Amino acid sequence: MSQMISVSEALKTLLSKETKVVVLTGAGISAESGVPTFRGEDGLWKKFRPEELATFDAFMANPELVWEWYEYRRKIIEEIKPNPAHLALVEFQNHFEEFDLITQNVDGLHNQAGSKNVVELHGNIKRNKCIRCGAQYETLEKTIKGIPPKCHCGGNIRPDVVWFGEMLPQDALNYAFKVSSDCDLFFSVGTSAVVHPAASLPLIAKRSGAYVVEVNMERTEISHVIDESLIGKAGKIMPQLVKFFM
């Protein structure tokens, strides 16, 4: 039997179906599925330099390298499955009458788990788009070849993710700001909460009067301003929260 986490009475009361809930997730929620996180000892940014791999300039300077790096990350994602934390969030969506799930992750694991209307702030690694004409590719046809592949218009195809220095998709961001400033309970799960604008969402929720809870292996940048930190693995904690649903 895994040990139950200690949850405040305030949070237990808020787990009733009428509560308006927003959840923001980051790389930590996928860690137990086998997706590497970005920061921390084993984080991707310890081994790779973001400016060489995750910027538009890097892609223009070395499209083959950047494409191959994303292929490497796609291979990891192809072989993995959602974990109990992703699955618990599907139960969250079924339970709460008003619920929004916002993610910084590009791995698509929330969709794979069965979550609906996921707000993907940083794009999706499985999708691609042309840098010249903007055509979107949900999957790459077998006829499209090259590293990186070439669009029908001749432009290079890139992963449809947000790189450093790029704007987040405006509609998704506006929606995330709106629901975060109008919820009763906000969860920040598996994110170091250092990359803005996503990192400002829990703070906006807090300022707007929501009860803000983080679920993380360790305390983060926002721990001192929020209401409750649940320290441990998301795959253990999120399913335990489901048991408190009223």
Find out whether 21 and 176 touch, Cβ atoms under 8 Å. Answer: no
Binding residue (CB under 6 A) for ligand OAD from 5, 65, 217, 242: 217
Find the binding residues for ligand OAD in span 61-100 (CB under 6 A): none
Find the binding residues for ligand OAD in span 129-168 (CB under 6 A): 162, 164
Distances 237 to 6, 115, 230 between C-alpha atoms, Å: 10, 18, 8
**Catalytic residue set:** 122
Nearest residue (beta carbon) to ligand OAD: 28
Question: DSSP character for 150?
Answer: B
Distances 184 to 28, 30, 67, 214 between C-alpha atoms, Å: 24, 25, 41, 14
Smallest distance from ligand OAD to CB 187, Å: 11
Q: Which is nearer to ligand OAD, 16 or 239 (CB)?
A: 239
113: helix, strand or coil: helix
The answer to whether 104 contacts ligand OAD (rule: CB under 6 A) is yes
Q: Distance between CA 19 and CA 183 in Å, rounded?
A: 8
Q: Which is nearer to ligand OAD, 150 or 232 (CB)?
A: 232
Find the binding residues for ligand OAD in span 27-66 (CB under 6 A): 27-28, 31-32, 37-40, 43, 54
End-to-end distance of the chain based on CA atoms, in angstroms? 23
Question: Is residue 66 classed exposed, middle or buried when 0-12, 13-18 and 19+ CB atoms within 10 A define those classes?
Answer: buried
Q: Which is nearer to ligand OAD, 73 or 183 (CB)?
A: 73
Query: How many residues bind ligand OAD, per CB under 6 A?
Result: 27
The answer to whether 191 contacts ligand OAD (rule: CB under 6 A) is yes
Smallest distance from ligand OAD to CB 230, Å: 9
Residue type for position 225: V
Smallest distance from ligand OAD to CB 22, Å: 16
Q: Distance between CA 60 and CA 30 in Å, rounded?
A: 30
The answer to whether 210 contacts ligand OAD (rule: CB under 6 A) is no
Q: What are phi and psi of 189, to 5 degrees?
A: -115, 120
The answer to whether 103 contacts ligand OAD (rule: CB under 6 A) is no
The answer to whether 192 contacts ligand OAD (rule: CB under 6 A) is yes
Sign, Cα dihedral of 23, 25, 28, 29: positive
The answer to whether 111 contacts ligand OAD (rule: CB under 6 A) is no
Q: Which is nearer to ligand OAD, 22 or 27 (CB)?
A: 27
Q: Which is nearer to ligand OAD, 11 or 144 (CB)?
A: 11
**How many other C-beta atoms lie within 10 A of the C-beta of residue 106?**
25
Give residues in contact with ligand OAD (CB under 6 A): 26-28, 31-32, 37-40, 43, 54, 104, 122, 162, 164, 190-192, 195, 215-218, 220, 233-235
